[in-house]
Structure 1
Amino acid sequence: MIQRPQEIIWAPQEGPQTALLQCPVFEVFYGGARGGGKTDGMVGDWIQHSSLYGENAVGIFVRRNRTQLSEVIARTKQLFPKLGARYNETKSEWRMQGGGRLRFVYLEHDADAENYQGHNYTRVYIEEVTNFPSPGPINKLKATLRSAAGVPVGMRLTGNPGGPGHNWVKARYIDPNPRGFTVIKDTESVMLTSGKLIEVSLERVFIPSKLWDNPRLLDNQPQYVLQLKQTGSEALVKAWLDGNWDMIQGAYFDDFDPTRHIISSETPLPKHWTRFRAMDWGSARPFCVGWYAVSDGSGNFPRDALIKYREFYGWNGNPNVGLKMNAAAVAEAINQRDELDRKAGLRLSYGLADPSIFIEDGGPSIAEMMLSRGCQWARADNKRIPGWQQMHVRLQAEPPLLYFMDCCEHTARTIATVQHSESKPEDLDTEGEDHAVDETRYACASRPLVTSLSGDDRVWVPPKTIERMTFNDLVAASRAKRLAAENRGF
């Protein structure tokens, strides 16, 4: 009998794709740059997994919305029919020849992950995981990974720098070793029904893959390198082409430059400068309190510059996850930090906070609970677009008019990564970790600049509401306006 030569439907490319298919680790983040063959790697992993475990292989392929699934579905339609698989359009599900099932689903809202609780999967694929603002829905899907047949289960994720989930993805997969291939182990003790205490662990690893690891694309379309280089800013090119997670695609504050805006916490600030604080409230999400000094032109900073010299960030160590501290406890912690200034002979002129803390919902408001502990706030100006414009003006000024001491690590971390809103590009994406920048916006909005003036003509215009201003603030503002008018010859 003459045997027909076998046709190779798909084979992994040498390098990261091969490493992906050979990796036994429970949780694998694969990719990190454009053109690295991420989708093909996921499809190939499923072909291998379903071939090995037949009808006991059950997988789901997840994207943020339905439209984003079209590319991977189209790719599977090129490959799977050649393997004898059948596709059910109604269910968006493949039935492989050996009985394995792969379904395509989307989680447009984080709560959609609840729909899959109680399901059993042996493979969960998350494409472009940085589109998910928090790891919450991803973690819920991990609970679906189980097999009564003893099939090794696992989660496979892909993504590029940028997106609303940039911070938590970077912290979980990239920061432990940006070069990848380091297995991170989370270990806990578990008590068995027999009473025996054992240690169990889950492992995760980052397998980096860049355009240079995808010769099929590079050889067939070498101009793709030029296409990426022409996409826009240097930051965008580095993020897409080099997989640089410190250069952020779509960053809202692309005018933020650590070399210009971050200063040493040892920098002396004159005691007579006006001081104030601002707060963005959070419980399940982090809160952020910032303390600011306002330059009067003395010292090494231009007049009207804001310097954030202290930060209090309420997170549990995981990006965008709060401490759930009650208002009274937060107020006490703020008072302790205020006391540091009082002991140094400094006086806070006012405090501004997220207007939502003044809402009364069947009981005392958050503001009232904090006031009962001696921590007082006035309503911040919460107009978003004008507030962001004030931040941009200050960041872009020469010299800058907004600085952060290096102890304000969460401000520096998140201002560099918050993204533009897809539906309203002039605003930022509120699903990201925006708490420190919101608090900074309140601070800048409380000291708005007249942007039609420049240099020494720039003056501080008091807000329309004056309840947050002291008498000295009003006198100083009036004097500054008068001097500016005299300098212009009026």
Structure 2
Amino acid sequence: MTPRQAAFMRSEAFETLFGGAAGGGKSHGQLLDALRFAVVYPGSRQLMLRRTMPELERSLVPAAMRLYPQSVASYKVSEHRWDFINGSTLEFGYCDAESDVTKYQSAEYDVIRFDELTHFTESQFTYLISRIRGANPYPKQVKSTTNPGGIGHQWVKSRYIDPMPPDEVHAFDGETRLFLPARLADNPFLCRADAGYEKRLRLLSVHDRRALLDGVWELDEGRYFSEFSPALHIVPPHEIPREWRRYLTIDYGLDMLAALWIAQSPDGRSVVYRELYEPGLIISEAAARILSCEASGEQIDVRLAPPDLWNRRQETGRSAVELFADCGLSFEKSSNERVAGWLALHELLAPRRDMDGEPRPRLTIFNTCRNLIRTLPALQHDRRNPSDTANTPHELTHAPDALRGYAATVFEPPAPSVPTAYDCEVGEFLRF
């Protein structure tokens, strides 16, 4: 056992992330810790997760078969579960699709373990850790291991790396978190057994080498909005002048209602000042939730919805916008141009020097709009069409799609600059 693995096993924080370079012994430490917990706490229940079943069968299952003594536990292949002689269990599970989390809806666990946490979305993680519960006195924990990169890179970085220094336990909303960096040098056993492993990692692309060899979390490759910066784009709530135009833009489906309220200044600057992000709402419920969010007497000048909400439904013969109108909300059609909309949003996010020489974007976001702040920088390029964003994982697309509808409809690119020359005789600039 390495000192880093021992620190992971000793952690009493509610959430522990052991993350960084490949080869640091993270998965092995996860299996050792699960074995220790099962033996120390009779009748305990644990769940260890990978994103897909093939990943489980290639990694954790064979590793556990080599590591766990048959005198202590037996593996039930059909149920992907280790049964210990003291009544403890360790399930191996997966969540390939976003909805797979519901398989664990009625389950109770003392510890849930994520192997390669950045392969999961934040909504999957949040749902699954709600299954940690029980009346026994055993510790209740979330223990995760991962490399940088993957679809969940941004939210994992925001949760564990950005807000706190490593190797220190910090409290957030009454729960404790710990981040333990992993380095290849932490695992001398691998370095001795496979002296060429580091050399092979150095042959990777710059992006993969930084993630897997160096364990670097500042990875921008693949991010669609690389210009997004919390320091520039996220602002504390402030008073919005009454003369600014106010917009509501939505992306709606039964899986998620994403609504953004945006104010636009006379000089074309925009601020997202409120959001609503809620799944499972039928149209009447969605309309009621939107109206309940708006302040008494608040004037919304334009409400925008995507064109698909004008399609008539086969079962009723009426469109979603007609049903919204019945509930007191009338919408105008936003542009559904994906690439043009993303380009307009690039323009709004791009920082430009103001009169004081300071970089200032034309779009800012109140720090209370947590879901937009979470999902917008997590969008990746579509590998088949780099001008577009990837539409998976779908959970990340709702709030950005609502913002794209606003940008594509409202944004007007600046007029092209007109060449000028200075006339020395009259002392002024002449336009051609």
Task: State the TM-score, normalizing by the size of structure 2.
Answer: 0.69
One-letter amino acid of the structure 2 residue matched with residue 67 of structure 1? P
1:418 — aligned with what? 379
How far has the Cα of 1:183 moved from its partner?
Answer: 4.7
Residue 441 in structure 1 maps to residue 411 in structure 2: no
C-alpha offsets along residues 48-107 of structure 1, whole Å, 9 cap, x if unaligned?
2233346x3543321221122122223223323687755444333345577754332212
Tell me, in whole angstroms, the C-alpha distance in 2 between the residues paired with 1:401 and 1:144.
Answer: 44
Tell me, in whole angstroms, the C-alpha distance in 2 between the residues paired with 1:365 and 1:180.
Answer: 54
Tell me, in whole angstroms, the C-alpha distance in 2 between the residues paired with 1:155 and 1:14.
Answer: 20
Tell me, in whole angstroms, the C-alpha distance in 1 between the residues paired with 2:83 and 2:374.
Answer: 45
C-alpha offsets along residues 215-247 of structure 1, whole Å, 9 cap, x if unaligned?
335674444774577226xxx947984553x65
Tell me, in whole angstroms, the C-alpha distance in 1 between the residues paired with 2:368 and 2:204.
Answer: 31
Residue 382 in structure 1 maps to residue 382 in structure 2: no
One-letter amino acid of the structure 2 residue matched with residue 80 of structure 1? Y
Tell me, in whole angstroms, the C-alpha distance in 1 between the residues paired with 2:304 and 2:257.
Answer: 19
Tell me, in whole angstroms, the C-alpha distance in 1 between the residues paired with 2:202 and 2:106.
Answer: 47
2:21 — aligned with what? 34
C-alpha offsets along residues 100-138 of structure 1, whole Å, 9 cap, x if unaligned?
543322122344333345555444322233333344565
How far has the Cα of 1:393 moved from its partner?
Answer: 6.3
2:40 to 52, 55, 59: 52
Residue 309 in structure 1 maps to residue 261 in structure 2: no
How far has the Cα of 1:42 moved from its partner?
Answer: 0.7
How far has the Cα of 1:20 moved from its partner?
Answer: 1.9
1:240-251 to structure 2, matched below 5 A, reads: 241-242=214-215, 244=217, 247=219, 250-251=222-223
Residue 71 in structure 1 maps to residue 59 in structure 2: yes
How far has the Cα of 1:173 moved from its partner?
Answer: 4.6
1:44-443 to structure 2, matched below 5 A, reads: 44-53=32-41, 56-69=43-56, 70-80=58-68, 86-95=74-83, 100-119=88-107, 121-135=109-123, 139-140=127-128, 142-143=130-131, 145-146=133-134, 151-161=138-148, 163-165=150-152, 169=156, 173-174=160-161, 177-179=164-166, 181-184=168-171, 203-211=175-183, 214-216=186-188, 217=190, 220=195, 221-223=197-199, 226=202, 230-231=206-207, 237=210, 241-242=214-215, 244=217, 247=219, 250-257=222-229, 277-281=247-251, 285-292=257-264, 307-315=269-277, 326-328=286-288, 330-331=290-291, 334=294, 339=299, 350-355=302-307, 357-358=309-310, 367=321, 376-392=330-346, 403-405=362-364, 407=366, 410=369, 411=372, 413-420=374-381, 426-428=388-390, 429-443=392-406
1:14 — aligned with what? 3
Asked if 1 retains the 8 angstrom alpha-carbon contact of 2:48 and 2:112, the reply is yes
Asked if 1 retains the 8 angstrom alpha-carbon contact of 2:120 and 2:151, the reply is yes
How far has the Cα of 1:43 moved from its partner?
Answer: 0.8
In structure 2, the CA distance between the partners of 1:265 and 1:91, relative to structure 1 (3 Å rule), is closer
Tell me, in whole angstroms, the C-alpha distance in 1 between the residues paired with 2:288 and 2:86.
Answer: 60
Report the 3-state secondary structure (helix = DSSP H, G, I; strand = E; otherwise coil) of the residue aligned with 1:446: helix
Tell me, in whole angstroms, the C-alpha distance in 2 between the residues paired with 1:447 and 1:38.
Answer: 48
Give the percent of matched residue pairs that are identical in Structure 1 and Structure 2.
21
In structure 2, the CA distance between the partners of 1:325 and 1:88, relative to structure 1 (3 Å rule), is closer
Task: State the TM-score, normalizing by the size of structure 1.
Answer: 0.62
Cα RMSD between the aligned structures?
4.9
In structure 2, the CA distance between the partners of 1:127 and 1:311, relative to structure 1 (3 Å rule), is same
In structure 2, the CA distance between the partners of 1:72 and 1:333, relative to structure 1 (3 Å rule), is closer
Tell me, in whole angstroms, the C-alpha distance in 1 between the residues paired with 2:16 and 2:280.
Answer: 21
Unaligned runs of 5+ in 2: 354-358, 419-430
How far has the Cα of 1:261 moved from its partner?
Answer: 6.5
C-alpha offsets along residues 280-320 of structure 1, whole Å, 9 cap, x if unaligned?
2458554212233586xxxxxxxxxx53234321259xxx9
How far has the Cα of 1:279 moved from its partner?
Answer: 0.5
Asked if 2 retains the 8 angstrom alpha-carbon contact of 1:121 and 1:147, the reply is no
In structure 2, the CA distance between the partners of 1:454 and 1:85, relative to structure 1 (3 Å rule), is farther
Report the 3-state secondary structure (helix = DSSP H, G, I; strand = E; otherwise coil) of the residue aligned with 1:20: helix
Report the 3-state secondary structure (helix = DSSP H, G, I; strand = E; otherwise coil) of the residue aligned with 1:254: coil
Report the 3-state secondary structure (helix = DSSP H, G, I; strand = E; otherwise coil) of the residue aligned with 1:31: strand
How far has the Cα of 1:456 moved from its partner?
Answer: 2.8
One-letter amino acid of the structure 2 residue matched with residue 404 of structure 1? L
How far has the Cα of 1:376 moved from its partner?
Answer: 4.2
In structure 2, the CA distance between the partners of 1:172 and 1:395, relative to structure 1 (3 Å rule), is closer
Report the 3-state secondary structure (helix = DSSP H, G, I; strand = E; otherwise coil) of the residue aligned with 1:90: helix
Tell me, in whole angstroms, the C-alpha distance in 2 between the residues paired with 1:59 and 1:365.
Answer: 47
Tell me, in whole angstroms, the C-alpha distance in 2 between the residues paired with 1:105 and 1:254.
Answer: 34
Report the 3-state secondary structure (helix = DSSP H, G, I; strand = E; otherwise coil) of the residue aligned with 2:379: coil
Which structure has the greater CA radius of gyration?
1
State the aligned residue count: 398
Tell me, in whole angstroms, the C-alpha distance in 1 between the residues paired with 2:81 and 2:97.
Answer: 21
Tell me, in whole angstroms, the C-alpha distance in 1 between the residues paired with 2:140 and 2:211.
Answer: 34
Asked if 2 retains the 8 angstrom alpha-carbon contact of 1:278 and 1:439, the reply is no
